[in-house]
Each structure stands twice: as structure tokens, then as C-alpha cells.
Amino acid sequence: MRSEPRVIVSLDFPTADEASLLVSMLDPVACRLKVGKELFTRCGPSIIEKFTGQGFDVFLDLKFHDIPNTVARACQAAAKLGVWMLDVHACGGRQMLEMAREALDKQSHQPLLIAVTVLTSMDEADMNEVGVPGTVSDQVLRLTSLARQCALDGVVCSAREVGMIRHAMGSEFKLVTPGIRPVDSTADDQRRISTPVQAIEAGSDYLVIGRPVTQASDPLKVLESINSEIESIEEAI
């Protein structure tokens, strides 16, 4: 029996038409969708309503980071839009995370609330330069632990961090992993990639996959092949 879709297709498109064309080739049973800053800034809430109306679960990836009241209200607005998952920056601090949680707890529709820890575009030198001493892994673990204390549902993390976080946070905490490449596809500009099977085996719950699906001549076929790889190891786990 097929489990819930683990793949979240990243809709990195500049226009609603391009995103909608790709989505028309997909199936809500096979994947979820991620709408990020570019598409949302161009198209607004209507694009979310369109895809949820077509039966897709949508991850609204706007990485909120602001004063607690502003973030709480933005989370409330996202819940009212019917998104399945949304994210905030853990470095916004305890009060911001707690208020985001409380705001969602009051909603009739409650999306998963996920934290971003250290962006994978930053290395130790970048992090130290903005005043955070120590290593990236220490900071990732510190912020993940803060997110968990504030009752967030999980974190976005690189495939490289999945094993360490799964071990430290237990099985209920959701791990969302970008930088995924099927064995036969190119890395594009991703530097630390992992295959779908490697990421799931390490403990990832959801895989964010963009170009290997969005640039394929038959996106649904690529998805089906990723899903059958995942299903074969789910049976073994």
C-alpha cells in the first residue's frame, strides 16, 4: 500500500502559468508542493488556493523572521490560506517561536510548523562573521533543540545533518530535507547532495526536490520512479 507522499516538489518558477503547467502534470497522490518567496511574491495567495483546490498539500516556504507578534499573525494568515506546512527562522528566538505555535494552536486548520536553523548556504566563517561563534553543527543542534522545546513540529535540514538530528530529537520530530538528487540526475548548483534513499534511510520524513522533477520531460514519471525507490526501502525499514 502506498504511504503518504514524501516528496515535496519545489515550484521555483517566476510565473503562475509556468508553475500551473508543471502542476497540471503532477498528482497529489504522488507529491506535495512547495511555494517559496519568488512565486508567492509574484502571484500571492491565489496560487496557494488554486493548488490546494486541486487537492495538493502546499508547503509555504516564506521563512518568517520578525518580531513575535508579526510572525504569529503571519502564521495565522498562512493557516487561514489552508497551507499544509509553513516555516520560520529558529534564530527569531524563543518568544517568536512560542507565539507562532500558540497562534497556530488557535486555528481550526493547523499546518505543520517547521523551523529553519542555519541556512545551508552559510558555512562556519559566514556564521562567525554575523556574530555566532562555534561550529555549524553545534548551532544547528542548539536551534533544533530550541524549536523542539517550543513545540514546533520539526526542522528543515540538509541530508548531512539528518542522522545527527534524528538521533538527538527522536522519531516524532519532522525532518524536511532539500539537496536531493536521484542517482541518475545532475547536481546542478547543489554541493552536498543525497539520493532519496540515502535521505530516507538517514531519517528524513520529507524530501524537497526541484529541478530533477520540474525540468524533466515527464515529471510524473520521474516522481513515480523516486516514489517506488522510497517505497521499496520503507518496507525494509
The residue from 37, 50, 63, 221 that is catalytic is 63
Find the shortest distance in angstroms from Cβ 236 to ligand C5P. 25
Find the shortest distance in angstroms from Cβ 188 to ligand C5P. 5
C-beta of 99 vs 169, nearer to ligand C5P: 169
Rounded to whole angstroms, how far apart are CA atoms 130 and 155? 22
C-beta of 72 vs 153, nearer to ligand C5P: 153
Is there binding between residue 208 and ligand C5P (CB under 6 A)?
yes
Annotated active-site residue 80? The verdict is: no
Is there binding between residue 219 and ligand C5P (CB under 6 A)?
no
Q: Which residue is nearest to ligand C5P (CB)?
A: 210
What string marks each residue from 171 to 190 as x (binds ligand C5P by CB under 6 A) or -? -------xx--------x-x
Select the residue interacting with ligand C5P from 113, 132, 159, 209 (CB under 6 A): 209
Q: Which residues bind ligand C5P (CB under 6 A)?
A: 10, 12, 36, 119-120, 156, 158, 178-179, 188, 190, 208-211
